[in-house]
Amino acid sequence: MRTRTLRAATAVAAAILLTVTTGVAASAHDGGRHGHDKAGKVTTIARGLDNPRGLYVTPDGTVYVAEAGRGGAGPCFPSPEGGTACLGNSGAITRISHGKQTRVVKGLPSIGAENTGESAIGPSDVVVAQGRVTFTVGLGADPAAAAGLPAPASGRVASLLTDTRRGPSRIADLGAYEAAVDPDQDGPDTNPNSLVAKGKGYVVVDAGGNSLLSVDKRGVVSTLATFPHRLVDAPPELGLPPGTQLPMDAVPTSVTRGPDGAYYVGQLTGFPFPLGGANVYRVVPGKKPTVYASGFTNIIDVGFGPDGRLYVLEIAHNGLLSGDTTGALWRVKGKGSAVQVKTPTLTAPGGLAFDKKAAYVSTGSVVAGLGSVVRIPLR
């Protein structure tokens, strides 16, 4: 994820802090491109989370959430977002079951804003497969930056990890793959952000590398797809001549496997984060990605619901540069057709998962201590 993307995330985090600490609750967004689908009563099943991101629901209804943490005491260094970021071991994987939330994997790397812990980079997504909790840890930088971190963080960032009796064990060094291969040929930049299980292996989205990666059971990494840069109109506030266009990174943030066996990948987009500029790509291994659905803004997660339809989660419905922290959940009815699911306010949502009757969404995804997971019944 490129520098300007991260700066925008910081702006969202600051707005969330202001909203929550002053007790101002924004109303649910009632606009939509194609109307609304109603949802039932929403319940909060977890609170007090640190930068909660990706979610996973097991068949018995247990929910897992990746917490990117709140950074820590250091070492500290200049952040690409501005200000100072500090390393800590506050990243975690939390299990939510029978009304209780427990951090079942703790001590994971977390790099967050000094003092506040906002916009942390750390555990980003989680699945439970083959009886183990497996998760990605991001970096958001040149993979070479990992070498400058103390152990064990240096061996855990930009990686796919699984929990064992002896603690977290690295399955694949995704940063090393980005450094060696650079699939999108745009310079080394890695931020593993989402994953799904595939047989005895995994498929991972690297938001920094603009790539979809396969990791086999031996930890061998290969490229399934890369996602193209696009030229978009420069925003007026830059003061550039009319008609000026800028190259925009894809920044894929999420992956899910569809009922048809293809992979569906949502993109955040890079700067200038144009409204309606985010696509969902359909990826069939061995073929170029194709646009499955378009017209979204700043997609943070995607998933197939109990009705077999694709759902799309936006982190900022009015755009990362708007200062509005309200996200949105969409149901894709067919190629090019989507309906917004009417929900209470989703403040900077970060992850999406489903059981047989409901959607689960993590909110407050870029602030420490104020994150939550909500359950949204679907009708």
What's the rounded Cα separation, in Å, for the pair 280 and 301?
A: 10
CATH of domain 3-343+350-377: 2.130.10.10
335-372 confidence digits (pLDDT tens): 668 999 999 999 999 999 999 999 999 999 999 999 99
Domain spans of the chain, in order of start: 3-343+350-377
**CA 377 to each of CA 305, 341, 352: distance values in angstroms, whole numbers, following the listed order:** 11, 11, 13
Cis amide prior to 152 (ω within 30 degrees): yes
Alpha-carbon dihedral sign for residues 131, 137, 142, 148: negative
**CA 11 to each of CA 1, 94, 329, 341, 348: distance values in angstroms, whole numbers, following the listed order:** 15, 26, 21, 26, 11
What's the rounded Cα separation, in Å, for the pair 215 and 310?
A: 24
Report pLDDT for 37. 55
Q: What are 243's strand-pairing partners?
A: none
Report pLDDT for 316. 96
Report pLDDT for 121. 97
Residue segments in the chain with a per-residue pLDDT below the cut of 70: 1-40, 335-336
Report pLDDT for 36. 52
Report pLDDT for 137. 98
Q: What are 352's strand-pairing partners?
A: 361
Report pLDDT for 216. 97
22-68 confidence digits (pLDDT tens): 333 333 333 334 445 555 689 999 999 999 999 999 999 999 999 99
